[in-house]
């Protein structure tokens, strides 16, 4: 009877963490595919040029940089903004923001980046700001929702024990809202790294450049390798984010 | 840049290209309709088939979730070596993206039905298929439709990238504008693309709202 | 035509091998036209047994007979269309109107539209709900009691011979539950269905059942008999402890008001003059009279002192009569009504509210002493 219970428990955990398993599996499959293509296809001169390892690495670095920087900006803006909005109860604004996420998903990132380009010109900052704006809403929304769903009675108890409002914010509300906020940040990071692939449009480099070259010069191998690299990068970051979500959760939730 | 003159030149630009606009919007709309319809059929079928088996249910959710994690440019281009350029890779990518919202909502919708209703339905003599089509789908429909709405919005936004793989759509305006900067009419082209996208999204969203109201039973609205 | 409508033969239901079965070697016969109540402690298997009858749960062993026919292996859905099924949470389909809900099984059986519409109206009347008002409403607009009435109507729609009810009144407030139980008993008098009724409440079992099966764990029958016999001769300690103390009081639900001899009390029909009223009361040596309206509906208790307060019109003298009992109500209802009234007696009216007589505590006691259900 006890051994039955134990196996049931470990099987239980295995299915629940399927998310955590599938992502790295996909990444692994892509790595294998990309490596196979890399090793076994004939590179002509053009492809060789596009797929220079040093170039790829610097593009990889650029993509990560753009993705991380824009995410940091988003966090720095969205989280305090979310906190502020939930403080004094701007109920109309709150509902508007939470509801408008639906329509906002339809914003073309492609268009947004180009528009920013027309105002800010070429270069990394353009891409970074565009992406920051693009992923602002999800993080903002998650911050608001995360703070709102904190059980009122816990806050009440804190107030009753003599916590100031600031202490309540930092010791009760934020810790309890962390899981949802982190989920939002994780989404933002993935979106931003993904969209960083479009940074080449504004001359900011990144792995999208490889894909674009491959498209322009009609080299499927390059296209595939470039796309795989972007995908692998996103999957790895998502996996790390999932781990963060799982292990940064305050114990007891 | 003078605002007034920009608006007027923009208006001229748009007015003289109504056929292009029409073509772009129609292609875009075609993407949305085809993708959402096929994704709905596929995702709902998967949801119904896997709902009793926890492993397969979680697996399908995890896999479709991975699709959504893969950046759009990558997913649009990764199949090109196999299927070439144009409509096909765009369709595949948009299809894969749309799966998760619809799948997840269908599963949630079906699971949130009061089991007493299903028990009394069985007890009265409905077969399992009859229960699925006459009771479960109608009751889960609002939630499923919400998932369809998310998928539609996603598709409208991401389909702009189709232009990069010669897939047409509203993105064409943005691309041509970008390519010709800072020549005349380039800015107008870009803004046309962005604006059309927003308008189309709004139109589709409104359509879905109306659809929800007329297709949902009054008893559960 | 056999008297036995439902027969469960050597039924066993076991979920996990090695663990005790939920239903162990059950043999049960339900007679045509009777209300058989399955009652027992939580987890004894009574709901499982009920659901074995319409095969919502399939037996692991044994046979089920419906009107002589072996239905153990026939198509389950088709079997269930012949049996009415009512559950505690009702389970009305929220996306369908009341009419559509009730029409479910007739539609499945292919009735014509006009027949169905007529039947829906008929059934709503039967459960005391105005068809015009409720036909096109939705379940979310109904109260608990109304929902369960619709549930019963829905179960009766295709006119099944058998009705299965699983704690149908369990989720309803006690006042409404009492009313629904009484209405249901009246209904059964007219319809004479064969009903298997599950409850955990022994008082409900005694009130509703023609026969009661008291079940132990594993759906083992501890005693199967009429309520009177069980009350007077419990089979063993288990049954006795399940009955609880107060068997006499429980017996009060077995007899009806119509079994009591009603007392004549002075009645006055409005409009009446004050002096005449006082005179009548004195003439009959009563302490008070009952004021009736022109339809013979009782309105107020009039006592002499109240009448002597001349500053009030006669229609406002005395105390209003608030509680009425009917001949089909149980002695328990009568006792409760009498205790509520300030004069220690209760007014009995017929279905239309017309005055029939008065019921006093003395006459109740006399009935109990002379024809005591508990020897």
CB C258 within 8 A of CB C327: yes
Within a domain: B189: yes
Q: What is the pLDDT of residues A48-65, one digit of tens each?
A: 878 888 888 999 988 988
Distance, CA of C105 to CA of C101 (rounded, Å): 9
Q: How confident is residue C124, by pLDDT bands cut at 50, 70 and 90?
A: very high
Q: How confident is residue B15, by pLDDT bands cut at 50, 70 and 90?
A: confident
Closest residue, chain C, to B128 (C-alpha): C77
CB C277 within 8 A of CB C289: yes
Question: According to the model, what pLDDT value does residue C373 have?
Answer: 46
Q: Which of A29, A59, A111 should we substitute to test contact with B (largest number of B Cβ atoms within 10 Å)? A: A111
Beta-carbon separation of B117 and C87 below 8 A: no
Distance, CA of B181 to CA of B61 (rounded, Å): 43
Q: What is the pLDDT of residues A179-213, one digit of tens each?
A: 888 888 888 888 888 888 888 888 888 888 899 88
Q: What is the pLDDT of residues A15-24, one digit of tens each?
A: 667 888 899 9
CB C87 within 8 A of CB C168: yes
Q: How confident is residue C324, by pLDDT bands cut at 50, 70 and 90?
A: confident
Distance, CA of C273 to CA of C257 (rounded, Å): 33
CB C127 within 8 A of CB C152: yes
Closest residue, chain B, to A186 (C-alpha): B69
CB-based burial, C80-99: b 16+ in 10 Å, e otherwise: bbbbbbbbbbbbbbbbbbbb
pLDDT of B49 over the 50 cut: yes
Q: How confident is residue A253, by pLDDT bands cut at 50, 70 and 90?
A: low
Q: What is the pLDDT of residues B124-153, one digit of tens each?
A: 999 999 999 999 999 999 999 999 999 999
Count of residues in chain A: 253
For chain A, the domains span 18-247
Question: According to the model, what pLDDT value does residue C371 have?
Answer: 53
Question: According to the model, what pLDDT value does residue C321 have?
Answer: 85
Q: How confident is residue A252, by pLDDT bands cut at 50, 70 and 90?
A: low
pLDDT of C314 over the 80 cut: no
pLDDT of B2 over the 70 cut: no
Which residues form the domain of B155? 22-215
ipTM: 0.86
Question: Which chains are adjacent to chain C, needing at least 3 Cβ pairs under 8 Å?
Answer: B
Of B118, B124, B220, the CB nearest to C94: B220
Q: What is the pLDDT of residues C36-45, one digit of tens each?
A: 999 998 888 8
List C-alpha distances in Å: C110 to C21, C86, C104, C121, C182: 39, 22, 10, 18, 33
Q: How confident is residue A89, by pLDDT bands cut at 50, 70 and 90?
A: low
Question: From the DSSP assignment, how many helices (H) and strands (E) are in chain A?
Answer: 12, 0
Higher pLDDT, B93 or A245: B93
Q: How many CB pairs under 8 A join B and C?
A: 76
Q: How many CB pairs under 8 A join A and B?
A: 155
Question: According to the model, what pLDDT value does residue A1 have?
Answer: 44
Count of beta carbons in the 10 Å neighbourhood of residue A113: 25
Q: How confident is residue C369, by pLDDT bands cut at 50, 70 and 90?
A: low
For A32-98, give the DSSP string.
Answer: HHHHHHHHHSPP-HHHHHHT-HHHHHHHHHHHHHHHHHHHHHHHHHHHHHHHHHHHTT-HHHHHHHH
Of B54, B71, B80, the CB nearest to A197: B71
**Contacts with A230 from chain B: Cβ below 8 Å:** 70-71, 73-74
Distance, CA of A195 to CA of A230 (rounded, Å): 10
Count CA atoms within 13 Å of residue C286 on its CB side: 20
Of B116, B122, B125, the CB nearest to C105: B125
**Helices B137-158 and B87-111: angle between axes, nearest 10 degrees:** 150
Question: According to the model, what pLDDT value does residue B92 have?
Answer: 96
pLDDT of B10 over the 70 cut: yes
Within a domain: B170: yes
Within a domain: B9: no
Closest residue, chain B, to A17 (C-alpha): B58
Higher pLDDT, C223 or A146: C223
**Mind listing the domains of chain C with CATH numbers?**
4-248 (3.40.50.300), 258-370 (3.10.580.10)
* pTM exceeding 0.95: no
In three-state secondary structure terms, C298 is strand
* A167-171, B114-118, B197-201: least confidently modelled range: A167-171
Percent of chain C whose predicted confidence (pLDDT) is above 90 = 47
Q: What is the pLDDT of residues C242-272, one digit of tens each?
A: 887 666 667 777 778 887 878 778 788 877 7
Percent of chain A whose predicted confidence (pLDDT) is above 90 = 13
A18-247 to CATH, choices 1.10.300.10, 3.40.640.10, 1.10.3720.10, 2.130.10.10? 1.10.3720.10
Distance, CA of A146 to CA of A82 (rounded, Å): 10
Question: According to the model, what pLDDT value does residue B119 have?
Answer: 95
Q: How confident is residue A155, by pLDDT bands cut at 50, 70 and 90?
A: confident
Q: What is the number of structural domains in chain B? A: 1
DSSP letter at C135?
Answer: T
Higher pLDDT, A248 or B216: B216
Average model confidence (pLDDT) for chain A? 83
Q: What is the pLDDT of residues C65-102, one digit of tens each?
A: 999 899 999 999 999 999 999 999 999 999 999 999 99
Q: What is the CATH number of the domain that holds B134?
A: 1.10.3720.10
| Residue written as token pair 């781990």 | A243
pLDDT of C372 over the 70 cut: no
């Amino acid at each position: 009877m006890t051994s039955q219970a134990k196996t049931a428990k470990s099987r239980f955990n295995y299915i629940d963490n399927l998310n955590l398993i599938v992502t790295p599996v996909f990444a692994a499959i892509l790595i294998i595919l990309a490596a196979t293509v890399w090793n076994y296809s004939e590179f002509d001169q053009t492809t060789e040029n596009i797929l220079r390892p040093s170039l790829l690495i610097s593009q990889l670095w650029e993509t990560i940089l753009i993705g991380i920087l824009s995410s940091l900006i988003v966090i720095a803006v969205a989280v305090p903004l979310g906190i502020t909005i939930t403080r004094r109860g701007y109920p109309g604004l709150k509902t508007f923001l939470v509801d408008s996420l639906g329509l906002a998903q339809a914003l073309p990132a492609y268009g947004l980046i180009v528009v920013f380009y027309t105002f800010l010109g070429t270069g990394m900052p353009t891409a970074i700001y565009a992406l920051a704006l693009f992923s602002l809403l999800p993080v903002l929304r998650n911050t608001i929702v995360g703070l709102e769903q904190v059980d009122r009675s816990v806050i009440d108890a804190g107030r009753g024990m003599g916590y100031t409002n600031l202490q309540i914010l930092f010791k009760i509300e934020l810790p309890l809202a962390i899981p949802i906020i982190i989920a939002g940040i994780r989404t933002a990071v993935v979106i931003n790294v993904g969209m960083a692939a479009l940074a080449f449009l504004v001359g900011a480099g990144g792995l999208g450049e490889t894909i674009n070259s491959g498209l322009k010069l009609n080299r499927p191998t390059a296209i595939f390798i470039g796309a795989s690299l972007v995908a692998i990068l996103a999957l790895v970051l998502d996996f790390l984010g999932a781990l963060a979500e799982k292990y940064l959760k305050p114990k007891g939730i | 840049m003078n605002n007034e003159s920009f608006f007027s030149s923009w208006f001229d630009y748009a007015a003289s290209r109504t056929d292009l606009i029409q073509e772009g919007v129609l292609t875009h709309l075609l993407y949305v309709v085809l993708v959402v319809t096929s994704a709905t059929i596929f995702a709902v079928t998967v949801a119904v088939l896997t709902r009793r088996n926890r492993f397969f249910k979680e697996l399908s959710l995890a896999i479709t979730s991975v699709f959504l994690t893969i950046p759009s440019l990558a997913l649009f281009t990764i199949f090109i070596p196999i299927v070439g350029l144009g409509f096909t890779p765009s369709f595949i990518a948009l299809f894969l993206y749309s799966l998760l919202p619809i799948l997840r909502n269908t599963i949630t919708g079906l699971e949130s039905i009061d089991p007493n209703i299903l028990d009394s339905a069985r007890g009265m003599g409905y077969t399992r298929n009859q229960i699925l089509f006459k009771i479960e789908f109608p009751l889960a429909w609002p939630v499923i439709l919400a998932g369809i709405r998310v998928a539609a919005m996603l598709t409208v936004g991401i389909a702009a990238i189709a232009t990069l793989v010669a897939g047409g759509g509203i993105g064409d305006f943005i691309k041509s504008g970008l390519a010709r900067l800072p020549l005349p009419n380039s800015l107008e082209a870009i803004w046309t693309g962005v604006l059309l996208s927003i308008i189309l999204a709004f139109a589709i969203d409104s359509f879905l709202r109306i659809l929800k109201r007329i297709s949902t039973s009054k008893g559960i609205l | 035509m056999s008297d036995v409508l439902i027969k469960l033969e050597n039924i066993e239901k076991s979920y996990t091998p090695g663990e005790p079965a939920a239903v162990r070697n059950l043999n049960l016969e339900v007679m045509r036209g009777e209300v058989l109540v399955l009652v027992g402690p939580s987890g004894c298997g009574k709901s499982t047994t009920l659901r074995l009858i319409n095969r919502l749960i399939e037996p692991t062993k044994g046979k089920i007979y419906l009107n002589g026919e072996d239905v153990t292996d026939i198509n389950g859905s088709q079997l269930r269309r012949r049996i009415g099924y009512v559950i505690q949470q009702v389970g009305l389909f929220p996306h369908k109107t009341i009419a559509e809900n009730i029409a479910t099984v007739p539609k499945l059986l292919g009735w014509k539209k006009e027949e169905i519409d007529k039947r829906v109206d008929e059934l709503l009347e039967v459960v005391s709900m105005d068809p015009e008002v409720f036909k096109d409403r939705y379940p979310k607009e109904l109260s608990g009691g109304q929902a369960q009435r619709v549930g019963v109507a829905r179960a009766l729609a295709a006119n099944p011979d058998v009705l299965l009810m699983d704690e149908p009144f369990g989720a309803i407030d006690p006042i409404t539950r009492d009313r629904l139980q009484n209405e249901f008993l009246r209904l059964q008098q007219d319809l004479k269905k064969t009903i298997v009724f599950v409850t955990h409440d022994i008082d409900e079992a005694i009130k509703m059942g023609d026969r009661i099966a008291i079940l132990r764990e594993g759906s083992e029958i501890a005693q199967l008999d009429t309520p009177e016999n069980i009350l007077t001769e419990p089979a063993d300690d288990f049954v006795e402890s399940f009955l609880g103390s107060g068997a006499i009081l429980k017996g009060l639900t077995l007899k009806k008001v119509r079994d009591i001899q009603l007392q004549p009390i002075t009645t006055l029909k409005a409009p009446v003059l004050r002096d005449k009223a006082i005179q009548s009361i004195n003439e009959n040596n009563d302490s008070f009279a009952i004021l009736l309206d022109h339809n013979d509906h009782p309105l107020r208790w009039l006592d002499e002192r109240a009448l002597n307060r001349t500053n009030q019109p006669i229609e406002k003298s005395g105390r209003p009569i608030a509680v009425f009992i009917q001949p089909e109500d149980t002695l328990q209802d009568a006792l409760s009504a009498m205790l509520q009234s300030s004069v220690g007696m209760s007014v009995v009216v017929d279905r239309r509210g017309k005055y029939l007589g008065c019921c006093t505590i003395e006459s109740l006691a006399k009935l109990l002493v002379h024809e005591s259900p508990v020897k």
